[in-house]
Amino acid sequence: MSGEKDLEQLKKEAVAKAKAAAAAKRAAKAAGTAEPRQAAEPKQATEPKQAAEPKQEAKPVELVKADEPVVPPAEAGAPVNDADDLAKKKAAAVAKAKAAAAAKRKAMGEAPAEETPAETAPEADGGADDLAKKKAAAVAKAKAAAAAKRKAMGEAPAEETPAETAPEAGGGADDLAKKKAAAVAKAKAAAAAKRKALGEAPAEETASEATSGGDADDLAKKKAAAVAKAKAAAAAKAKAKAAGAGDAVAIAAGGDDEKEKAIAAAKAKAKAAAAAKAKAAAGGKAGSAATAEATDAKPSANQPYLDKYVKVIEENLGSDVLEDSYINKLSKDVPTLVAKRDTYYKIAQFLKYNELLGFDYLSELHGTDYETYMEVYVHFYSYKNRQSVALKVKIDRGEPRLESLVPLWAGADWPECEAYDLLGIKFTGHPDLRRIFLGEDWVGYPLRKDYQPYDVEV
């Protein structure tokens, strides 16, 4: 862009000098000097030739100057000398500007043929009016070419930026160049801002935006491409935003519906599971009850043994010594005898020494606190008959006292001491009843339901 500005500045200076030379010539003609007019004519004839050769360098200009006729100083007046100097300076400036522009294009890799008509147009011979007309024609030609290219690209004429249609025909090449440069800079800045807003990399600029052509056609093409790209990007962004908003609303609405459906399904599933569980539990209870009834309906394999024990005891000790008898389903269907408090020791003694029974082994003895009463449970086994029986007795909880079985079965020693230590049941007739887990100074009995620790730290 700096090279183009230098070229326009040189052209502007050349135009000013041409105007000054034209004014000087008109003044000389008005004065009626014939000789200066004859001397100036060859000079003026060579200037159009020099201007018509846009690709000539500084060297051709010097050849033209060498071919010019030499006017003696005595014959030429002061205005003529000024005109000659002005023409020479103008030609040198034009050649210098053209050489700089050609060097710039060569450095940028552009073909020399890409020079705009405004650069190759000959300088006006007839003064500022002809120059202005030629510049206006060049501008009109550039506009026509740009419009044709836009039409070929399928773009609407309304898409042209105000910067493209703003220049007037008679405004001069300087104003046109400045406006075009401003429009290009504005378009590039807008494109860069849109790319930045869209998150695109600056490297996505097209090659036509990166290269700066000198002619109006390339400039129009670049502007049109930038405008089209910016509009397409804005439209895509708006479309994506609208689609995203619609999707978000749909997702939100759909999300609420799906959430409600999921909650309803979960509730229904939980309700169904609860119903199934309740049904299964009811069925299980019914099945358990049916099984219990069936089991109760079917006699236990140990029922004959229980009947035998009861019959022998009643025949020998009387029918009032037993409080109850049953098959304990919770303990492997063991025959169980419930003795009264005052017949407990008598029945135990009979179970050991009777010939038909012969329970000579005490396998188990323990006590239980039922809060309203206590119970002692004893399990016996007969090695002779390979039979087992259980003897139970209820005792007073306030004064738990019972006869010791140690005189009958020595194995009752430690189990009775344990029941005494943990429950406080006293076995009368025990040879050495004492606490075997806790010390003698321990307060209370830990297996009682109302036990309260005396020492809270223990």
CA distance 187 to 252: 40
Instruction: Tell me what pLDDT residue 181 has.
Output: 76
Instruction: Tell me what pLDDT residue 61 has.
Output: 37
CA distance 61 to 51: 10
Instruction: Tell me what pLDDT residue 259 has.
Output: 76
Question: pLDDT digit string (tens) for 247-305?
Answer: 554 455 555 677 778 888 888 888 888 888 888 777 666 656 555 555 556 788 999 99
CA distance 256 to 237: 28
pTM above 0.75, yes or no: no
Instruction: Tell me what pLDDT residue 67 has.
Output: 42
Residues of the chain short of pLDDT 70, as ranges, are: 1-5, 32-84, 109-130, 132, 154-175, 177, 199-217, 243-256, 283-297, 456-458
Instruction: Tell me what pLDDT residue 74 has.
Output: 40
Question: pLDDT digit string (tens) for 362-392?
Answer: 999 999 999 999 999 999 999 999 999 999 9
Instruction: Tell me what pLDDT residue 115 has.
Output: 44
- Domains of the chain are 1-126 (no CATH), 303-428 (3.30.460.80)
